[in-house]
């Protein structure tokens, strides 16, 4: 009865994101998309810093942990990125 759903794929979470950069994300994103049976789920990362970098530009959805005060600034810099 329980039907869990995958709505997006995450490349990393918080501390693990600190070792990531745009080059790493650009290598992993196509692999994730290829392995996705639907081939259309967005790619995200739950970041706790490193905002405004090229890594963020690779993501379809920007994950911001803890920094509520950054939401408006980040969104205004990337208005088409949820």
- Whether the pLDDT of residue 67 is over 90: the answer is no
Distance, in Å, from the CA atom of 19 to the CA atom of 9, rounded to the nearest integer, reads 18
DSSP string, the chain: --------EEEEEGGGGGG--HHHHHHHHHHHHHH-SSS---EEEEESS-TTSHHHHH-SEEEE-S-GGGHHHHHHHSTT--
User: What is the per-residue pLDDT across 18-38, written as a single tens digit (0 to 9) for each?
Assistant: 778 899 899 999 999 899 887
pLDDT at residue 9 in the model: 92
Q: Both tokens of residue 23?
A: 């080059």
* Widest pairwise Cα distance in the chain: 42
| Strand-strand pairing, 9-13 and 61-64 | unpaired
- Whether the pLDDT of residue 47 is over 90: the answer is no
- Whether the pLDDT of residue 60 is over 90: the answer is yes
């Amino acid at each position: 009865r329980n039907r869990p759903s995958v709505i997006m794929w995450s490349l990393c979470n918080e501390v693990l994101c600190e070792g990531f950069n745009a080059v790493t994300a650009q290598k992993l994103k196509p692999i994730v998309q290829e392995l996705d049976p639907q081939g259309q789920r967005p790619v995200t990362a739950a970041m706790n810093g490193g905002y405004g970098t090229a890594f963020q530009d690779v993501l379809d959805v920007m994950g911001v942990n803890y920094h509520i005060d950054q939401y408006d600034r980040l969104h205004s810099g990337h208005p088409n990125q949820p």
